[in-house]
Structure 1
Amino acid sequence: MPAQSIPLAAPAATSLLWLWGPVLLVICINPLIQLFAGKPPVTAAFASWGPLLVLPLITAGLTLAYRRRHLQLDARRLKIASTLYSKQVPISAMRLDRARVVDFDENPGFKPALKTNGFQMPGFRAGHFRMKDGSKGFCLITDNHRVLVLPLRDGSSVLLSPEQPRALLEELKRLADNLPRA
Protein backbone atom coordinates (compact mmCIF):
# COMPACT_ATOMS: atom_id res chain seq x y z
CA MET A 1 0.00 0.00 0.00
CA PRO A 2 1.50 3.37 -0.94
CA ALA A 3 1.59 6.03 1.75
CA GLN A 4 -1.58 8.09 1.87
CA SER A 5 -1.83 11.59 3.24
CA ILE A 6 -4.35 12.06 6.04
CA PRO A 7 -5.94 15.55 6.18
CA LEU A 8 -5.72 17.34 9.51
CA ALA A 9 -8.43 19.40 11.14
CA ALA A 10 -7.83 23.06 10.40
CA PRO A 11 -6.58 25.04 13.39
CA ALA A 12 -8.45 28.15 14.49
CA ALA A 13 -7.92 31.09 12.16
CA THR A 14 -6.77 33.18 15.12
CA SER A 15 -3.97 30.81 16.18
CA LEU A 16 -1.21 32.88 14.63
CA LEU A 17 -2.46 35.98 16.45
CA TRP A 18 -1.12 34.35 19.63
CA LEU A 19 2.32 34.30 18.00
CA TRP A 20 2.38 37.61 16.12
CA GLY A 21 0.34 39.74 18.55
CA PRO A 22 2.82 39.73 21.45
CA VAL A 23 5.78 40.17 19.09
CA LEU A 24 4.22 43.20 17.43
CA LEU A 25 3.38 44.62 20.85
CA VAL A 26 6.97 44.19 22.05
CA ILE A 27 8.32 45.75 18.85
CA CYS A 28 6.09 48.81 19.27
CA ILE A 29 6.63 49.48 22.99
CA ASN A 30 10.19 50.85 23.00
CA PRO A 31 9.79 53.19 20.00
CA LEU A 32 6.58 54.55 21.52
CA ILE A 33 8.25 55.13 24.89
CA GLN A 34 11.12 56.93 23.13
CA LEU A 35 8.71 59.01 21.08
CA PHE A 36 6.67 60.11 24.13
CA ALA A 37 9.92 60.95 25.95
CA GLY A 38 10.76 63.40 23.14
CA LYS A 39 13.59 61.23 21.76
CA PRO A 40 13.88 59.72 18.29
CA PRO A 41 12.09 56.33 18.24
CA VAL A 42 15.00 54.62 16.46
CA THR A 43 18.69 55.51 16.48
CA ALA A 44 21.67 54.18 14.54
CA ALA A 45 22.63 51.78 17.36
CA PHE A 46 21.80 48.09 16.81
CA ALA A 47 20.19 48.00 20.27
CA SER A 48 17.65 50.46 18.90
CA TRP A 49 16.73 48.93 15.55
CA GLY A 50 17.94 45.32 16.01
CA PRO A 51 14.81 44.03 17.73
CA LEU A 52 12.71 45.59 14.97
CA LEU A 53 14.49 43.27 12.53
CA VAL A 54 15.38 40.20 14.61
CA LEU A 55 12.03 39.57 16.34
CA PRO A 56 9.98 39.51 13.10
CA LEU A 57 12.55 37.17 11.49
CA ILE A 58 12.33 34.75 14.42
CA THR A 59 8.54 34.97 14.38
CA ALA A 60 8.48 34.34 10.61
CA GLY A 61 10.59 31.22 11.20
CA LEU A 62 8.17 30.05 13.89
CA THR A 63 5.26 30.74 11.52
CA LEU A 64 6.88 28.52 8.87
CA ALA A 65 7.39 25.80 11.48
CA TYR A 66 3.74 26.14 12.57
CA ARG A 67 2.60 25.58 8.98
CA ARG A 68 4.58 22.30 8.71
CA ARG A 69 2.15 19.60 9.76
CA HIS A 70 1.05 16.41 8.07
CA LEU A 71 0.08 12.81 8.65
CA GLN A 72 0.92 9.90 6.36
CA LEU A 73 -0.24 6.34 6.69
CA ASP A 74 1.19 3.30 4.98
CA ALA A 75 0.61 -0.40 5.54
CA ARG A 76 2.92 -0.58 8.57
CA ARG A 77 3.22 2.85 10.19
CA LEU A 78 1.79 6.26 10.84
CA LYS A 79 4.15 9.15 10.11
CA ILE A 80 3.55 12.41 11.93
CA ALA A 81 5.34 15.69 11.20
CA SER A 82 4.60 18.98 12.88
CA THR A 83 6.58 22.14 13.49
CA LEU A 84 10.07 21.00 14.52
CA TYR A 85 9.01 17.47 15.48
CA SER A 86 8.31 14.20 13.73
CA LYS A 87 7.50 10.67 14.80
CA GLN A 88 6.93 7.34 13.08
CA VAL A 89 4.66 4.97 14.95
CA PRO A 90 4.39 1.34 13.83
CA ILE A 91 0.79 0.17 13.74
CA SER A 92 1.89 -2.91 15.69
CA ALA A 93 2.95 -0.61 18.59
CA MET A 94 -0.57 0.83 18.94
CA ARG A 95 -3.16 -0.47 21.38
CA LEU A 96 -6.09 0.15 19.06
CA ASP A 97 -8.53 -1.60 21.40
CA ARG A 98 -8.01 1.33 23.81
CA ALA A 99 -7.93 4.10 21.19
CA ARG A 100 -10.72 6.63 21.25
CA VAL A 101 -11.89 9.94 19.87
CA VAL A 102 -12.33 12.62 22.54
CA ASP A 103 -13.38 16.21 22.96
CA PHE A 104 -11.22 17.95 25.58
CA ASP A 105 -14.22 19.96 26.81
CA GLU A 106 -16.07 16.72 27.63
CA ASN A 107 -13.00 14.65 28.62
CA PRO A 108 -10.41 17.00 30.16
CA GLY A 109 -8.51 14.04 31.59
CA PHE A 110 -7.05 13.34 28.15
CA LYS A 111 -5.71 16.88 27.69
CA PRO A 112 -1.90 17.16 27.80
CA ALA A 113 -0.80 18.63 31.12
CA LEU A 114 2.82 19.75 30.69
CA LYS A 115 4.83 20.67 27.61
CA THR A 116 8.26 19.02 27.87
CA ASN A 117 9.59 19.76 24.37
CA GLY A 118 6.99 21.21 22.09
CA PHE A 119 5.25 24.10 20.39
CA GLN A 120 2.03 25.29 21.99
CA MET A 121 -0.50 28.05 21.44
CA PRO A 122 -4.19 28.14 22.35
CA GLY A 123 -5.86 25.44 20.25
CA PHE A 124 -2.57 24.06 18.89
CA ARG A 125 -0.06 21.63 20.37
CA ALA A 126 2.81 19.87 18.67
CA GLY A 127 5.68 17.86 20.12
CA HIS A 128 6.32 16.08 23.38
CA PHE A 129 4.07 16.51 26.42
CA ARG A 130 3.36 14.87 29.76
CA MET A 131 -0.17 13.69 30.25
CA LYS A 132 -2.20 14.19 33.44
CA ASP A 133 -1.39 10.64 34.56
CA GLY A 134 2.37 11.32 34.17
CA SER A 135 2.82 9.30 30.99
CA LYS A 136 4.46 10.66 27.86
CA GLY A 137 2.52 11.85 24.85
CA PHE A 138 3.38 13.01 21.36
CA CYS A 139 0.84 15.52 20.08
CA LEU A 140 -0.32 17.10 16.86
CA ILE A 141 -3.52 18.75 18.05
CA THR A 142 -5.17 21.38 15.88
CA ASP A 143 -8.75 21.01 17.13
CA ASN A 144 -9.54 20.31 20.80
CA HIS A 145 -12.98 18.95 19.87
CA ARG A 146 -11.83 16.00 17.76
CA VAL A 147 -8.72 14.34 19.10
CA LEU A 148 -7.76 10.76 18.33
CA VAL A 149 -5.98 9.28 21.36
CA LEU A 150 -3.76 6.33 20.39
CA PRO A 151 -2.27 4.52 23.41
CA LEU A 152 1.00 2.73 22.64
CA ARG A 153 2.32 -0.53 24.04
CA ASP A 154 5.21 1.26 25.81
CA GLY A 155 2.76 3.23 27.99
CA SER A 156 2.98 6.49 26.06
CA SER A 157 0.35 7.83 23.69
CA VAL A 158 -0.09 9.78 20.48
CA LEU A 159 -2.77 12.47 20.23
CA LEU A 160 -3.82 13.68 16.78
CA SER A 161 -6.49 15.90 15.22
CA PRO A 162 -7.27 14.40 11.83
CA GLU A 163 -10.16 15.85 9.89
CA GLN A 164 -12.01 12.55 10.31
CA PRO A 165 -10.67 10.85 13.46
CA ARG A 166 -13.12 7.93 13.43
CA ALA A 167 -12.28 7.11 9.82
CA LEU A 168 -8.55 7.12 10.64
CA LEU A 169 -9.13 4.86 13.63
CA GLU A 170 -11.11 2.41 11.50
CA GLU A 171 -8.37 2.43 8.85
CA LEU A 172 -5.72 1.76 11.51
CA LYS A 173 -7.77 -1.18 12.82
CA ARG A 174 -8.17 -2.55 9.29
CA LEU A 175 -4.42 -2.30 8.67
CA ALA A 176 -3.65 -3.89 12.06
CA ASP A 177 -5.84 -6.88 11.14
CA ASN A 178 -3.79 -7.34 7.95
CA LEU A 179 -0.39 -7.25 9.66
CA PRO A 180 1.47 -10.57 9.76
CA ARG A 181 1.31 -12.15 13.22
CA ALA A 182 4.62 -12.73 14.99
Structure 2
Amino acid sequence: MNAHPDTRREFAVAPAPVWRLLWLWLPMLGVAVMIVATTLQSAQRTPMDLAITLPFLLLVSGVLTWAFFRRRIELQGTELVVTSTFYRRRTAVSALQLDRARIVDLAEHAEFKPGIKINGFGMPGFQSGHYRSGGKKVFCLVTDASRVLHLPLRDGSALLLSPENPRALLDALNAQATR
Protein backbone atom coordinates (compact mmCIF):
# COMPACT_ATOMS: atom_id res chain seq x y z
CA MET A 1 0.00 0.00 0.00
CA ASN A 2 1.39 3.41 -0.94
CA ALA A 3 1.43 5.99 1.82
CA HIS A 4 0.52 9.33 0.36
CA PRO A 5 0.87 12.24 2.84
CA ASP A 6 -2.84 13.03 2.38
CA THR A 7 -3.93 9.48 3.23
CA ARG A 8 -6.47 9.43 6.06
CA ARG A 9 -7.49 6.43 8.05
CA GLU A 10 -9.97 6.66 10.88
CA PHE A 11 -10.01 4.26 13.83
CA ALA A 12 -13.23 3.81 15.79
CA VAL A 13 -13.11 4.91 19.40
CA ALA A 14 -14.32 2.41 22.00
CA PRO A 15 -17.85 3.45 22.94
CA ALA A 16 -18.47 5.12 26.28
CA PRO A 17 -21.77 4.16 27.90
CA VAL A 18 -24.33 6.96 27.59
CA TRP A 19 -25.33 6.51 31.25
CA ARG A 20 -22.04 8.24 32.14
CA LEU A 21 -23.77 11.46 31.15
CA LEU A 22 -25.70 11.15 34.41
CA TRP A 23 -22.50 12.48 36.04
CA LEU A 24 -23.16 15.66 34.07
CA TRP A 25 -26.94 15.87 33.94
CA LEU A 26 -27.78 15.02 37.58
CA PRO A 27 -25.64 17.86 39.05
CA MET A 28 -27.05 20.25 36.43
CA LEU A 29 -30.59 19.18 37.35
CA GLY A 30 -29.74 19.76 41.03
CA VAL A 31 -28.48 23.26 40.25
CA ALA A 32 -31.65 24.01 38.25
CA VAL A 33 -33.83 22.86 41.15
CA MET A 34 -31.84 25.04 43.58
CA ILE A 35 -32.16 28.06 41.27
CA VAL A 36 -35.94 27.62 40.98
CA ALA A 37 -36.32 27.07 44.73
CA THR A 38 -34.27 30.15 45.69
CA THR A 39 -36.06 32.28 43.10
CA LEU A 40 -39.48 31.27 44.42
CA GLN A 41 -38.42 31.98 48.03
CA SER A 42 -36.74 35.31 47.38
CA ALA A 43 -38.69 38.54 47.08
CA GLN A 44 -35.73 40.16 45.31
CA ARG A 45 -35.63 37.67 42.42
CA THR A 46 -38.05 37.82 39.54
CA PRO A 47 -39.28 35.26 37.01
CA MET A 48 -37.00 37.04 34.51
CA ASP A 49 -34.04 35.65 36.48
CA LEU A 50 -35.32 32.16 35.67
CA ALA A 51 -35.92 33.09 32.04
CA ILE A 52 -32.24 33.98 31.73
CA THR A 53 -30.57 31.46 34.04
CA LEU A 54 -32.34 28.21 33.14
CA PRO A 55 -31.82 28.47 29.34
CA PHE A 56 -28.16 29.32 29.98
CA LEU A 57 -27.85 26.23 32.18
CA LEU A 58 -29.53 24.14 29.47
CA LEU A 59 -27.14 25.56 26.86
CA VAL A 60 -24.08 24.73 28.98
CA SER A 61 -25.40 21.19 29.55
CA GLY A 62 -26.02 20.80 25.81
CA VAL A 63 -22.49 21.95 24.91
CA LEU A 64 -20.95 19.57 27.47
CA THR A 65 -23.09 16.70 26.15
CA TRP A 66 -22.01 17.49 22.56
CA ALA A 67 -18.37 17.54 23.72
CA PHE A 68 -18.78 14.12 25.37
CA PHE A 69 -19.62 12.60 21.97
CA ARG A 70 -16.86 14.43 20.05
CA ARG A 71 -14.22 11.71 19.73
CA ARG A 72 -12.04 10.70 16.81
CA ILE A 73 -8.71 8.97 16.18
CA GLU A 74 -7.21 9.42 12.71
CA LEU A 75 -3.94 8.60 11.04
CA GLN A 76 -3.45 11.45 8.55
CA GLY A 77 -0.38 10.70 6.49
CA THR A 78 2.51 10.89 8.96
CA GLU A 79 0.46 12.34 11.83
CA LEU A 80 -1.76 10.79 14.45
CA VAL A 81 -4.65 13.19 15.12
CA VAL A 82 -6.74 12.65 18.24
CA THR A 83 -9.87 14.73 18.74
CA SER A 84 -11.52 14.46 22.12
CA THR A 85 -14.19 16.76 23.60
CA PHE A 86 -12.71 20.28 23.44
CA TYR A 87 -9.18 19.09 22.62
CA ARG A 88 -7.17 18.04 19.59
CA ARG A 89 -3.68 16.59 19.63
CA ARG A 90 -1.56 16.21 16.49
CA THR A 91 1.48 13.97 16.92
CA ALA A 92 4.01 13.00 14.29
CA VAL A 93 4.35 9.23 14.04
CA SER A 94 8.13 9.75 14.19
CA ALA A 95 7.71 11.30 17.67
CA LEU A 96 6.19 8.07 19.04
CA GLN A 97 8.29 5.41 20.73
CA LEU A 98 6.38 2.54 19.18
CA ASP A 99 8.80 -0.08 20.54
CA ARG A 100 7.58 0.89 24.04
CA ALA A 101 3.86 1.10 23.17
CA ARG A 102 1.56 -1.20 25.12
CA ILE A 103 -2.06 -2.20 25.23
CA VAL A 104 -3.01 -2.17 28.91
CA ASP A 105 -5.90 -2.61 31.29
CA LEU A 106 -5.72 0.41 33.61
CA ALA A 107 -7.16 -1.64 36.48
CA GLU A 108 -4.11 -3.91 36.30
CA HIS A 109 -1.54 -1.24 35.38
CA ALA A 110 -2.30 1.68 37.67
CA GLU A 111 1.02 3.33 36.77
CA PHE A 112 -0.54 4.35 33.43
CA LYS A 113 -3.79 5.70 34.90
CA PRO A 114 -4.51 9.39 34.32
CA GLY A 115 -3.89 11.15 37.61
CA ILE A 116 -4.11 14.88 38.10
CA LYS A 117 -6.28 16.68 35.57
CA ILE A 118 -4.33 19.64 34.16
CA ASN A 119 -6.77 20.80 31.48
CA GLY A 120 -9.33 18.17 30.75
CA PHE A 121 -12.89 16.92 30.71
CA GLY A 122 -13.57 13.91 32.81
CA MET A 123 -16.02 11.85 34.74
CA PRO A 124 -15.75 8.34 36.16
CA GLY A 125 -14.69 6.04 33.32
CA PHE A 126 -14.10 8.85 30.83
CA GLN A 127 -11.01 11.06 30.58
CA SER A 128 -10.29 13.55 27.83
CA GLY A 129 -7.57 16.16 27.54
CA HIS A 130 -4.37 16.86 29.43
CA TYR A 131 -3.51 14.93 32.60
CA ARG A 132 -0.47 13.88 34.60
CA SER A 133 0.37 10.25 35.17
CA GLY A 134 3.41 9.22 37.19
CA GLY A 135 4.82 12.76 36.93
CA LYS A 136 4.59 12.76 33.13
CA LYS A 137 2.28 14.69 30.81
CA VAL A 138 -0.39 12.52 29.23
CA PHE A 139 -2.99 13.36 26.59
CA CYS A 140 -6.05 11.17 27.10
CA LEU A 141 -9.00 9.86 25.20
CA VAL A 142 -10.03 7.06 27.55
CA THR A 143 -13.52 5.61 27.14
CA ASP A 144 -12.77 1.99 28.05
CA ALA A 145 -10.13 1.51 30.75
CA SER A 146 -9.90 -2.24 30.09
CA ARG A 147 -8.10 -1.79 26.74
CA VAL A 148 -6.03 1.36 26.47
CA LEU A 149 -3.21 1.97 24.02
CA HIS A 150 -0.31 3.64 25.85
CA LEU A 151 1.91 5.46 23.34
CA PRO A 152 5.04 7.03 24.87
CA LEU A 153 6.57 9.99 23.05
CA ARG A 154 10.23 10.89 22.68
CA ASP A 155 9.75 14.07 24.74
CA GLY A 156 8.75 12.01 27.81
CA SER A 157 5.01 12.56 27.54
CA ALA A 158 2.49 9.97 26.35
CA LEU A 159 -0.86 9.38 24.70
CA LEU A 160 -3.52 7.19 26.33
CA LEU A 161 -6.12 6.18 23.77
CA SER A 162 -9.15 3.89 23.72
CA PRO A 163 -9.57 2.77 20.13
CA GLU A 164 -12.15 0.04 19.61
CA ASN A 165 -9.34 -2.12 18.21
CA PRO A 166 -6.04 -1.01 19.83
CA ARG A 167 -4.01 -3.65 17.96
CA ALA A 168 -5.18 -2.33 14.56
CA LEU A 169 -4.12 1.23 15.47
CA LEU A 170 -0.75 0.06 16.77
CA ASP A 171 -0.16 -2.02 13.63
CA ALA A 172 -1.05 0.95 11.41
CA LEU A 173 1.33 3.21 13.36
CA ASN A 174 4.12 0.63 13.05
CA ALA A 175 3.48 0.28 9.31
CA GLN A 176 3.58 4.06 8.88
CA ALA A 177 6.79 4.33 10.93
CA THR A 178 8.60 1.79 8.73
CA ARG A 179 7.79 3.73 5.53
Cα separation, 2, equivalents of 1:171 and 1:63 = 31
The CA distance in 2 between the partners of 1:119 and 1:13, in whole Å, is: 15
C-alpha distance in structure 1 between counterparts of 2:118 and 2:26, whole Å: 24
Q: How far does residue 34 in structure 1 lie from its aligned partner after superposition?
A: 6.4
Contact 1:76 1:175 in 2 (8 A): yes
- Give the alignment partner of residue 15 of structure 2, picking from 10, 15, 19: 10
Matching residue within 24, 28, 32 for 1:27: 32
Whole-angstrom distance in 2 between the partners of 1:177 and 1:31: 61
Residues 82-161 of structure 1 aligned to structure 2 (within 5 Å): 82-131=84-133, 133-161=134-162
Taking structure 2 as the reference length, the TM-score comes to 0.89
SS at match of 2:60: helix
How many residue pairs align between the two structures? Answer: 173
Structure 2 gaps, min length 5: none
- Aligned 8 A contact 2:117 2:132 in 1: yes
Identity %: 45
> Residue deviations 1:136-176, cap 9 Å, x none?
01111111111100000000000100000012112211211
Residue 144 of structure 1 aligns to a residue in which SS?
A: coil
The two structures, once aligned, show a CA RMSD in angstroms of: 1.9
Are the aligned partners of 2:39 and 2:47 in contact in 1 as well (CA < 8 Å)? no
User: 1:128·1:138 contact (CA, 8 Å) conserved in 2?
Assistant: yes
| Structure 1: 5+ residue stretches without partners | none
Displacement of 1:13: 2.2
- Of stretches 20-29 and 156-165 in structure 1, the one that deviates more from structure 2 is 20-29
Normalising to structure 1: TM-score of the pair?
Answer: 0.87
Question: Which amino acid is 2:26 matched to?
Answer: G
Return the alpha-carbon distance in structure 1 between the equivalents of residues 36 and 173 of structure 2.
Answer: 54
Partner of residue 44, structure 1: 47
Is residue 39–residue 46 contact of structure 2 (8 Å, CA) maintained in 1? no
Name the SS of the counterpart of 2:20 in structure 1: coil
Structure 2 equivalent of residue 79 of structure 1: 81
Letter in 2 for 1:64: W
Structure 1 position 45, deviation (Å) = 4.0
Q: CA deviation at 1:43?
A: 3.4
3-state DSSP of counterpart to 2:106: coil
Q: CA offset at residue 77 of structure 1?
A: 1.2
1:12–1:123 contact (8 Å) kept in structure 2: no
- Higher-helix-fraction structure: 2
Whether 2:71 is the aligned partner of 1:66: answer no
- Distance, in Å, in 2 between the alignment partners of 1:175 and 1:45 is 58
